Chain A
C-alpha cells in the first residue's frame, strides 16, 4: 500500500492505495466520483478522460500512485462556482450533444482540454481531437456542434420547428 495525496477538483485528498490501483478505480471506488466511466479495457473509448495537471489523460492508463501530488480535474468539478453548467456543459445540452450520457463526461473533459489549448478550433480539428473518445449514440454530429458553439463560433441551430 502507498499513501497518495492529490488535489481532486480543488479539494485535497489523502488515501492509502495498492500500487496497482488504477486512477479510474481510485476515483470511482475510493472517492465515489462515479462520473468518470469505464467503457473499455484497452484505453480506446475515452469515457474515463480526466485532467491531470491540466493535461487530458485517460484515467484507465495511469495508476493512482502516479497522480501523487497532482492537480486532478474530473467531470464533478466542471460546473461553474454557483453549481450551474459551465459553457461547455451548457453547449452540450443546448445542442443535444449527448443521449445515454455514458461517454459524455469524457467528451466534456476532452472538449475542455481542446478549447484550453485551441480556443477557436476548426471543425476538422474538433473531429481529430475526438479520435480517442467513442460515442455510440449521437453520431458525433451534435457533439462537434456543441464544442464549436462552446468555442464561441456560430453553428447551425438544432431542430426548432
Chain B
C-alpha cells in the first residue's frame, strides 16, 4: 500500500496550484513604485580596447535618468570568485579583476560597456543606440590550446599568459606512469565536453530598490541562494553592511546552476538605485541571457586507461583543458578541479587515478557550474573510454564494468573522497532487467530490416552531492562554508513555518520538506509551510545547488525539529505532571508511557505561548528552534543507465528508442518529485548528447545566441512513454545524514550523455563503420560525416 502521507509519499505538489493558475510571483512580475529601467549596452566584439565612450547625446534623450560607464565603478569592487585553486607548483590561481561594467577593455561578446537608466525600457534601449563607443578591436582567443601558446593574444594584459592555473591531483605521477608502463593494454581517447547554456526558461531579472529612510537596499533577483548573493555583493562588490541589504528571490523559473552565481547586473541595479535614489529594474532578454548567463562544461580532454592481462583497471590518467571564459565566475574555478577530479575514480577500484587540469582564459562568456558541474565531465570521459577499451579488447562492456566495480564500502578512492555506501551491482542488475537485454538482438534485426542501425549504450556513474564539510572545503580553497540552516517556528495554535536556507526553483521543497516535519511530529502536512528565498526571513543558509537541499538543509530541518520535540516533551511532561523521560510522541499526541494520559500537540504549543500555568523558571516560553547542519561528507548517489538508439545511415539522424535509468538515491522523500527530477536531468543530458552546442567562431562571435541557433530539446526529441523507465528502487541509505538521503537533481544529466554516445558508436560499428568516437552533440551532420569519412 503506497503511503499517502509523510516520508516516502508521492504527495502532489502544493506549489503547483499557483503556477497552474498564473499566480506565481517571478521576479519580473515585481514592480516597485516609480522604478526606472536599465538597458545594458554590450560589446559586439570579443576583444577590444575601449578608446572612448561618448554618452552626451544619449544622456539628453527623452526619459533618460542617468548613464553609467566603467568610470562610475572605479572604487567599487569587482565580482569575486568564491574558490581559490592552487597551482601544482604551489602558486595561487590568477584572479583577474571582473568589473561590473567594462573598464578599458571588453573581453567577450556581451561584456557590458555602459548602462542606460531611463523611465522606460524602450527609452533606455533607444538612448543606448545613441552612445558613441569607439572600440579598437584586438585579436580574440577562443581555442584553449591556442590560448596557451606563446604569442597568443592575452585576455588580461596584467597577467603573464592565459593560464589561470595548472592543477594536478590524485595518485603519485611516477607510480601512475609505472602502471601504464606495465599495462597489458592501454586505451587512449581525446574528447570534447561541449559548451552548453543552462537556459532556465525564466531569464534573469534584478530589481534594486533603495530606501533612503533607513539606508537599506533590497535586491529582488532570480537567484538560487539569496544569502550568498547578499554576502558577495555586500562585502566584496559594493561594501554595504549585510544588515543594510536584503536579497529576495521569490518564485524562480529554473536555475540548473546558472542562477547560483553573483552577476554584474545584480550589483549594478543595487548600486544605481542608491545613486539615483530610485528603484532600477533589469530584465534579461533571451539573447542577452546567451551572452551574460554563465555557460557550462567546455572541456577538452585526453584520457588514458591502463588494464592488466585480466582486464582489471590499473590506472586512469587525464589531461584536461577547462575553459574559464574571460573572467572567473563565482564557482568556476572549483568545477574542473574539486567537483571533477575527485570523481575520476567513478564506480571502479582503479588503484591509480591522476588528474591534470589546465584552466584557460579565453574571449568567451565565463563558464561555471551547470547541472552536475564537473561530475558529468568526469563521467563522460571515464565511461566513454571504458566502452572504447571494451571494443578494443573484444569484451562485453557490461562485464568489463562489473568486473571492476567497487564492491566494499566505505571505499577510499585515490582522488580523496570516501564513498560511504553504494551497490553498483544492484543498479546494474536492475538496469539489465528493465532494459530487456535478452531481446536486444531481435530488436536490432528489426531495425536493420528497416534500413536502420540499432545500438546499445550503457553507462555507470557516481556523483558527489551535498558538497561539504566546511572545514575540508575551506582547506581546499572554498571561500564559503557549505552547511545549511533551518528554523522551525511553531505558532501558538500548532501550525508551523519552517524557514529554510535552501531555495526552491522547481524542486518542490514546499511539498517535500513539510513531509519530513509532518512525519517527525505526527501531524498533518497542511499545518506546515516552508518559507524560503528572502534573506530578511530565513536563517543564513547556502541555497540550492549540487543536489544539496534535502541532504544538507533537510538535515538541518531534522535537527531543528528534534530540538522542538525535546522542548515540547518538557512542556508536555509539565502539563501531564509526569517525568520527561516517560513522555512519548506519536501521531501528534504526547502521552505518558504505560498510561492513558495524553496531551495533544496543539495544547502543548498553546501552553508554550500562553504560559499562564507554565514552569517559567525551568523552560523558556515559545517554541522555535534553529539548527545549522554541516555534513561530515558528501553523499554519493550512483546509477546504471542504458539506452537503445536507432541511427538512419542515410541522414545521420539518431532516435532514442528506449531509455532506462536505475538510480540509487538512498532514501526517497517524495518518489514522484524524484522521478520528475530524473526526467529533467535526462532531457538535459540527451540535449547535450544530441542537440545542444554553444558555438563561437574564430573571432569570438557567439553564433548560437537565440533559440533559432541553439537547439533546445523538444518533446519530440525524447523517448516515448512506454519505452522510458526510471527506477530508484535500489537504495543504499547515506550513513552520515539523519534522513539517509543522497540527492537526485543532477543524476540524469550526468548519466545520460555517455549512454547516448556509447549507443550511437555501437550502432555505427554494428553497421560496419569503423567509428570510434564522435564529439557531442552527435548531430545528424556529425554522424553522417563519421559514416562517410
Asked whether A39 lies within 8 Å of B286 as measured between CB atoms, the reply is: yes
Task: From B2, B12, B19, give the contact of A101 (CB < 8 A).
Answer: B19
In the assembled complex, the Cα of A100 lies from the Cα of B22 at a distance in Å of 12
Determine whether A66 belongs to the interface, using a CB cutoff of 8 Å to chain B: no
Task: From A35, A36, A138, give the contact of B680 (CB < 8 A).
Answer: A138
Q: Which A residues touch B712, using CB under 8 A? A: 44, 134, 136
Task: From A35, A100, A123, A131, give the contact of B23 (CB < 8 A).
Answer: A35
Asked whether A33 lies within 8 Å of B22 as measured between CB atoms, the reply is: yes
Shortest C-beta distance, B405 to chain A (Å), equals: 26
Task: From A38, A74, A108, give the contact of B28 (CB < 8 A).
Answer: A38
Determine whether A151 belongs to the interface, using a CB cutoff of 8 Å to chain B: no
Task: From B20, B287, B677, give the contact of A98 (CB < 8 A).
Answer: B20
In the assembled complex, the Cα of A77 lies from the Cα of B219 at a distance in Å of 31
Q: Given the known inter-chain contacts A35-B24, A76-B21, A160-B671, please indicate yes or no for A145 contacting B721, CB distance below 8 A.
A: yes
Asked whether B671 lies within 8 Å of A159 as measured between CB atoms, the reply is: yes
| Residue interface bits A29-52, CB-to-B below 8 A is 1, else 0 | 000011111111110110100000
Asked whether B683 lies within 8 Å of A102 as measured between CB atoms, the reply is: no
Q: Which of B1-21 contact A (CB under 8 A)?
A: 2, 8, 10, 12-13, 15-21
In the assembled complex, the Cα of A26 lies from the Cα of B708 at a distance in Å of 25
In the assembled complex, the Cα of A37 lies from the Cα of B729 at a distance in Å of 37
Asked whether B13 lies within 8 Å of A136 as measured between CB atoms, the reply is: no
Chain B contributes a number of interface residues (CB within 8 A of A) equal to 64
Binds A, one of B249-257, B520-528, B567-575: B249-257
In the assembled complex, the Cα of A141 lies from the Cα of B678 at a distance in Å of 10
Determine whether A143 belongs to the interface, using a CB cutoff of 8 Å to chain B: yes
In the assembled complex, the Cα of A88 lies from the Cα of B307 at a distance in Å of 55
Determine whether A158 belongs to the interface, using a CB cutoff of 8 Å to chain B: yes
Asked whether A130 lies within 8 Å of B707 as measured between CB atoms, the reply is: no
Asked whether B24 lies within 8 Å of A101 as measured between CB atoms, the reply is: yes
Asked whether A93 lies within 8 Å of B22 as measured between CB atoms, the reply is: no
Q: Given the known inter-chain contacts A100-B506, A101-B24, A102-B202, please indicate yes or no for A144 contacting B13, CB distance below 8 A.
A: no
Q: Which B residues touch A138, using CB under 8 A? A: 676, 679-680, 683
Please, which residue of chain B has its CB at the minimum distance from the CB of A92?
A: B20
Q: Which A residues touch B722, using CB under 8 A? A: 156
Task: From B24, B506, B724, give the contact of A99 (CB < 8 A).
Answer: B506
In the assembled complex, the Cα of A161 lies from the Cα of B674 at a distance in Å of 12
Q: Which of A1-58 contact B (CB under 8 A)?
A: 28, 33-42, 44-45, 47
Q: Given the known inter-chain contacts A40-B706, A134-B201, A141-B679, please indicate yes or no for A123 contacting B721, CB distance below 8 A.
A: yes
Q: Given the known inter-chain contacts A41-B285, A45-B707, please indicate yes or no for A101 contacting B15, CB distance below 8 A.
A: yes
Shortest C-beta distance, B753 to chain A (Å), equals: 14
Please, which residue of chain B has its CB at the minimum distance from the CB of A129?
A: B715
Task: From A44, A75, A101, A126, give the contact of B16 (CB < 8 A).
Answer: A101
Please, which residue of chain B has its CB at the minimum distance from the CB of A108?
A: B20
Shortest C-beta distance, A17 to chain B (Å), equals: 13
Q: Given the known inter-chain contacts A41-B287, A158-B675, A161-B8, please indicate yes or no for A99 contacting B22, CB distance below 8 A.
A: no
In the assembled complex, the Cα of A139 lies from the Cα of B12 at a distance in Å of 18
Q: Given the known inter-chain contacts A35-B24, A47-B201, A136-B201, please indicate yes or no for A143 contacting B715, CB distance below 8 A.
A: yes
In the assembled complex, the Cα of A144 lies from the Cα of B676 at a distance in Å of 13
Asked whether B21 lies within 8 Å of A39 as measured between CB atoms, the reply is: no
Q: Which B residues touch A44, using CB under 8 A? A: 706-708, 712
Q: Which B residues touch A137, using CB under 8 A? A: 201, 254, 506, 676, 680
In the assembled complex, the Cα of A153 lies from the Cα of B141 at a distance in Å of 55
Determine whether B246 belongs to the interface, using a CB cutoff of 8 Å to chain A: no
Q: Which B residues touch A92, using CB under 8 A? A: 16, 20
Taking each of B681, B683, B706, which has the highest tally of chain A beta carbons within 10 Å of its own beta carbon?
Answer: B683
Please, which residue of chain A has its CB at the minimum distance from the CB of B508?
A: A99
Task: From A34, A127, A136, give the contact of B715 (CB < 8 A).
Answer: A127
Shortest C-beta distance, A91 to chain B (Å), equals: 10
In the assembled complex, the Cα of A142 lies from the Cα of B28 at a distance in Å of 27
Q: Which A residues touch B23, using CB under 8 A? A: 35, 76
Please, which residue of chain A has its CB at the minimum distance from the CB of B682?
A: A139
Q: Given the known inter-chain contacts A37-B253, A38-B28, A101-B16, please indicate yes or no for A136 contacting B673, CB distance below 8 A.
A: no
Q: Given the known inter-chain contacts A37-B26, A41-B285, A45-B286, please indicate yes or no for A142 contacting B679, CB distance below 8 A.
A: yes
Q: Which B residues touch A134, using CB under 8 A? A: 201, 707, 712, 714
Q: Given the known inter-chain contacts A138-B680, A160-B2, please indicate yes or no for A144 contacting B22, CB distance below 8 A.
A: no
Determine whether B200 belongs to the interface, using a CB cutoff of 8 Å to chain A: yes
Asked whether B20 lies within 8 Å of A93 as measured between CB atoms, the reply is: yes
Please, which residue of chain A has its CB at the minimum distance from the CB of B707?
A: A44
Q: Which B residues touch A108, using CB under 8 A? A: 20
Asked whether B253 lies within 8 Å of A131 as measured between CB atoms, the reply is: no
In the assembled complex, the Cα of A151 lies from the Cα of B408 at a distance in Å of 50
In the assembled complex, the Cα of A57 lies from the Cα of B668 at a distance in Å of 40
Q: Which A residues touch B505, using CB under 8 A? A: 100
In the assembled complex, the Cα of A142 lies from the Cα of B682 at a distance in Å of 13
Q: Given the known inter-chain contacts A94-B12, A99-B676, please indicate yes or no for A161 contacting B19, CB distance below 8 A.
A: no
In the assembled complex, the Cα of A42 lies from the Cα of B721 at a distance in Å of 30
Q: Which of A68-88 contact B (CB under 8 A)?
A: 74-76, 78-79, 85
Determine whether B29 belongs to the interface, using a CB cutoff of 8 Å to chain A: yes
Q: Which A residues touch B194, using CB under 8 A? A: none
Asked whether A42 lies within 8 Å of B708 as measured between CB atoms, the reply is: yes
Q: Which B residues touch A160, using CB under 8 A? A: 2, 10, 671-672
Asked whether B721 lies within 8 Å of A155 as measured between CB atoms, the reply is: yes
Asked whether B13 lies within 8 Å of A100 as measured between CB atoms, the reply is: no
| Residue interface bits A102-137, CB-to-B below 8 A is 1, else 0 | 111100100000000000000110111011011111
Determine whether A140 belongs to the interface, using a CB cutoff of 8 Å to chain B: yes
Task: From A76, A156, A158, give the contact of B10 (CB < 8 A).
Answer: A158
Asked whether A35 lies within 8 Å of B254 as measured between CB atoms, the reply is: no
Q: Which A residues touch B200, using CB under 8 A? A: 100, 102, 136
Q: Which B residues touch A94, using CB under 8 A? A: 12
Q: Given the known inter-chain contacts A35-B23, A141-B721, please indicate yes or no for A101 contacting B506, CB distance below 8 A.
A: yes
Determine whether B178 belongs to the interface, using a CB cutoff of 8 Å to chain A: no
In the assembled complex, the Cα of A33 lies from the Cα of B23 at a distance in Å of 9
Determine whether B416 belongs to the interface, using a CB cutoff of 8 Å to chain A: no
Determine whether B203 belongs to the interface, using a CB cutoff of 8 Å to chain A: yes
Please, which residue of chain A has its CB at the minimum distance from the CB of B199?
A: A136
In the assembled complex, the Cα of A158 lies from the Cα of B25 at a distance in Å of 27
In the assembled complex, the Cα of A159 lies from the Cα of B22 at a distance in Å of 26
Q: Given the known inter-chain contacts A101-B19, A130-B715, please indicate yes or no for A39 contacting B202, CB distance below 8 A.
A: yes
Determine whether B703 belongs to the interface, using a CB cutoff of 8 Å to chain A: no
Q: Which A residues touch B677, using CB under 8 A? A: 99
Please, which residue of chain A has its CB at the minimum distance from the CB of B285?
A: A41
Shortest C-beta distance, B544 to chain A (Å), equals: 12
Determine whether B507 belongs to the interface, using a CB cutoff of 8 Å to chain A: yes
Task: From B201, B286, B718, give the contact of A100 (CB < 8 A).
Answer: B201
Q: Which B residues touch A78, using CB under 8 A? A: 20-22
Q: Given the known inter-chain contacts A40-B707, A100-B505, please indicate yes or no for A35 contacting B201, CB distance below 8 A.
A: no
Determine whether B215 belongs to the interface, using a CB cutoff of 8 Å to chain A: no
Asked whether B708 lies within 8 Å of A98 as measured between CB atoms, the reply is: no
In the assembled complex, the Cα of A36 lies from the Cα of B21 at a distance in Å of 10
Asked whether A161 lies within 8 Å of B2 as measured between CB atoms, the reply is: yes
In the assembled complex, the Cα of A85 lies from the Cα of B25 at a distance in Å of 18
Please, which residue of chain A has its CB at the minimum distance from the CB of B18?
A: A101
Please, which residue of chain B has its CB at the minimum distance from the CB of A88?
A: B20
Q: Which A residues touch B748, using CB under 8 A? A: 139
Q: Which of B673-730 contact A (CB under 8 A)?
A: 673-677, 679-684, 706-708, 712-716, 718, 720-722, 724, 729
> 4 closest Cβ contacts across the A-B interface?
A35-B22, A101-B19, A102-B253, A139-B683
Given contact pairs A34-B28, A134-B707, A139-B718, enumerate 14 new A-B contacts (beta carbons under 8 Å): A35-B21, A41-B706, A47-B201, A93-B16, A100-B200, A100-B253, A101-B19, A101-B20, A101-B253, A102-B201, A105-B20, A105-B22, A136-B684, A160-B671
User: Can you report 27 A-B residue pairs in the complex whose CB atoms are below 8 A from each other?
Assistant: A34-B26, A35-B24, A37-B202, A38-B203, A39-B202, A39-B286, A40-B286, A42-B708, A89-B20, A98-B20, A100-B202, A101-B15, A101-B19, A101-B253, A102-B26, A102-B201, A136-B199, A137-B506, A137-B680, A139-B680, A139-B713, A140-B715, A145-B721, A158-B10, A159-B671, A160-B10, A161-B8
